[in-house]
Amino acid sequence: MKIESATTFYYLYLNEKYSAMLPADCRTIRDETRIKFRNCMTQINNWVSTSITREDIAQNTRRVQLSYEQNSRVGLSREVLLMEQRAISAPLIPVHHNGNLDPVIIEKIKTLYNF
């Protein structure tokens, strides 16, 4: 969305500068793009940090259930849970497991989520 909105704003600027579009049309498109961008940015606020780990998920503790309730609008895919793929929205972390997850934990997650 960032690149798309930046490109849209740039083209709108050029349209206004060279009178390629009516100013009212440029304002309308700029306002619509601004609203879409703000809506995109508010999606970040849907996530509540809970500090649960994959080990916690495998054990299906009460803390995991509470975190799923707090983050009901955020889903975790099979690939993310099994460390096959990093979530696009995941924050940078200083420690990486290099995709290595304890086989016992992998089996518990697969069993729990029917993967």
- Whether residues 59 and 86 fall in one domain: yes
- Whether residues 82 and 57 fall in one domain: yes
- Whether residues 81 and 36 fall in one domain: no
- Whether residues 83 and 33 fall in one domain: no
- Percent of the chain past pLDDT 70, that is, above it, reads 82
- Whether residues 67 and 104 fall in one domain: yes
- Whether residues 100 and 88 fall in one domain: yes
Give the pLDDT score at 1: 45
Give the pLDDT band of residue 96 (cuts 50, 70, 90).
Answer: low
Structure tokens at 18: 């060279």
pTM: 0.49
- Whether residues 76 and 28 fall in one domain: no
Average confidence score pLDDT of the chain: 79
Structure tokens at 19: 């009178």
pLDDT of residue 55 exceeding 80, the answer is yes
Give the pLDDT score at 51: 81
Arithmetic mean of pLDDT, 90-115: 77
Q: Which residue has the tokens 């992998």?
A: 106
Domain limits for position 74? 49-112
- Whether residues 55 and 108 fall in one domain: yes
DSSP per residue over the chain, as a string?
A: -HHHHHHHHHHHHHHHHTT-S-HHHHHHHHHHHHHHHHHHHHGGGG-------HHHHHHT-HHHHHHHHHTTT----HHHHTTSS--TTPPP-S---TT---HHHHHHHHHHTT-
Number of domains in the chain: 2
Give the pLDDT score at 8: 78
- Whether residues 16 and 66 fall in one domain: no
Q: How far is Cα of residue 71 from the mean position of the Cα atoms in its chain? A: 12
